[in-house]
Amino acid sequence: MTARVPPATPPYAPEVQAVFDRLPRSWMPPFELFTVMARDPRLLQRFTRGAPIYFPETNLTVRQREVFLDRVTALCRCEYEWSLRIHYFAKEAGLTEEQVRATVHGSAEDASWSADDRLLIRLADELNTSADVSDGLWRELAAALSPEAILELLLLAGYYRTIAYVADGLRLPLEPRATPRFPPA
């Protein structure tokens, strides 16, 4: 499968190379998402500048971020981003095979989730369904997380929905180095 828009190829414009130089070394050569965006250096810069994931300070643990984003990207049916997240972060987040599968085919009620994980799964599900957070879930979130952490989760959900629109809309092929695929139902 090839992307609907071909990626930019090296040598990259200096402003594009500067963006690529800021990415983690393990992401080199740059993912196709970035090289397609590099066709317009302004878009690439805006896209990466607004990425909450690139901010070193965070209000979330790696596990909180990954449980949430794995569910968000799975609900968006964005196998491209989901497989990258599983490949690079699932082990660090302590996700089991059962939990990885549950991000795609499970629910917040799956026995593999802790109470804290269930809250994040429910948030991802509500945002996906209604683009809103019910008052009841908000109260539960506020009892468990700081206001800043909740805000960060909302920003992450929106940002990764944008990634899903771009990756799926462009029909980006899955990255060969990120081998996890959506598990069968």
Burial of 87 (0-12, 13-18, 19+ CB in 10 A): middle
Residues 79 and 159 in one domain: yes
The per-residue pLDDT for 114 is 98
Q: Are 123 and 85 in the same domain?
A: yes
69 and 150 co-located in one domain: yes
Residue 28: what pLDDT? 92
Determine the pLDDT at residue 54.
56
Whole-number pLDDT of residue 56: 66
Q: Cβ of 53: how many Cβ atoms within 10 Å?
A: 15
Residue 24 maps to a domain = yes
- Identity of the residue numbered 14: P
**Is residue 142 one of the residues assigned to a domain?**
yes
Residues 68-88 pLDDT 10s: 999 999 999 999 999 999 999
pTM: 0.91
| Residues 38 and 99 grouped into a single domain | no
Give residue 30's identity as a one-letter amino acid code.
P
Task: Give me the CATH number covering residue 148.
Answer: 1.20.1290.10
Q: Are residues 37 and 78 in the same domain?
A: no
Q: Are 100 and 155 part of one and the same domain? A: yes
Decide if 22 is inside a domain: yes
- Domain match, 110 and 40 both: no
Peptide bond into 11 cis (omega under 30): yes
Indicate left, alpha or beta for 178 from its phi (over 0: left) and psi (-120 to 50: alpha).
Answer: beta
Same domain, 106 and 142: yes
Q: What is the pLDDT of residue 53?
A: 59
C-alpha–C-alpha distance, residues 161 and 79, integer Å: 12
Residues 39 and 68 in one domain: no
Six-digit token string for 91:
């082990």
DSSP state string for 52-74: GGG-S--SS-HHHHHHHHHHHHH
Instruction: State the Cα–Cα distance between residues 87 and 37, nearest whole angstrom.
Output: 22
CA atoms within 13 A on the CB side of 45: 9
The domain tally of the chain equals: 2
Same-domain status, 85 and 164: yes
Q: What is the pLDDT of residue 49?
A: 81
Residue 145 within any structural domain of the chain: yes
Identify whether 36 is part of a domain. yes
Q: Digits of tens for pLDDT over the chain (185 positions)?
A: 688 999 999 999 999 999 999 888 988 999 999 999 999 999 999 888 877 655 568 899 999 999 999 999 999 999 999 999 999 999 999 999 999 999 999 999 999 999 999 999 999 999 999 999 999 999 999 999 999 999 999 999 999 999 999 999 999 999 998 988 999 88
Q: Domain span at residue 84?
A: 62-169
The pLDDT value given to residue 136 = 98
Tokens 């490949």, residue located: 87
Residues 67 and 148 in one domain: yes
Taking each helix axis from N to C end, the angle separating 62-75 and 147-169, rounded to the nearest 10 degrees, works out to: 40
Token reading at 180: 């996890």
Q: What is the pLDDT of residue 185?
A: 83
